[in-house]
Amino acid sequence: MRLVVDPHSTTPPFEQIRMQVIEAVRTGALAPGDKLPTVRRLAEDLGLAPNTVARSYRALEQDEVIETRGRLGSFVAATGDATQRQMQLAAVAYAERAKSLGVDAPEALAIVRAALGLPH
């Protein structure tokens, strides 16, 4: 898969990398167990500071999209669809928050539909 970083984009470079890796994992362009380039290598490829790439990798690790195996490097996580899992976690958190605020299920769903730009 190709990672493209556009310096003129309004999206920060670390976010561009993060989003493209997530998309590649979701579409299967990156399979579980695939090794990602080292931070230094990707930084040289993309003309970025190593810290920027490291930040992106840390965010991907927190999202459980990738896992770091010590000195072996960073790999695409082998535990299912990371996007699906993250969406489920976000949904559970939203449902709990709605309950704690006393918002009933139809109203919570309506808010989500509105946020997604869907018709009521």
Partner 1 sequence: MPVDLYEITLLVVAGLLTVVFAWQLRPGAALRPDALRDTARRAGLAITPEVEPVLIARIRSRTRGVLVGTLIALLVATASLIALPESPDGGIWSGLMLIVLTGLGGAVGLCVAEFRSAFVSLGDRPRVARAPTPRREDYLSTVDLWCGPVSMGVSGVALAAVAALILIDPDDALSDASIPSLWWPGFVLWIISLASAGVGRILSTRLLGRGQPAGNDMELAWSDALRSWTLRALARTPALGALCSVVVLLTCVSAAVTPSSGTGTAISVAFSVVPLVMGSVGVALLSMGSRRPPHYLTRLWPDVAAELRRGTHAGAALVESGRK
| Residues of span 53-72 touching partner 1 by CB under 8 A | none
Contact pick of 14, 18, 22, 30 for partner 1 (by CB under 8 A): 30
Q: Which residue has the tokens 């899992």?
A: 85
Q: What are phi and psi of 75, to 5 degrees?
A: -130, 155
* 23 makes contact with partner 1 (CB under 8 A): no
How far is it, in rounded angstroms, from Cα 6 to Cα 90?
Answer: 29
Is 102 a binding residue for partner 1 by CB under 8 A? The answer is no
Instruction: Tell me which of 11, 12, 19, 44 binds partner 1, using CB under 8 A.
Output: 44
Can residue 78 be called a binding residue for partner 1 (CB under 8 A)?
A: no
| Nearest residue (CB) to partner 1, 12 versus 93 | 12
Q: Which residues contact 34 (CB under 8 A, 6 or more apart)?
A: 75, 76
Residue 11 found at the interface with partner 1 (CB under 8 A): no
Helices (H), ranges, 47-104: 50-62, 82-100
CA atoms lying within 13 Å on the CB side of residue 47: 4
CB of 81 to partner 1, least distance (A): 18
What's the one-letter identity of residue 57? Y
Residues in contact with partner 1 by CB under 8 A are 1-8, 21, 24, 30, 34-38, 40-47
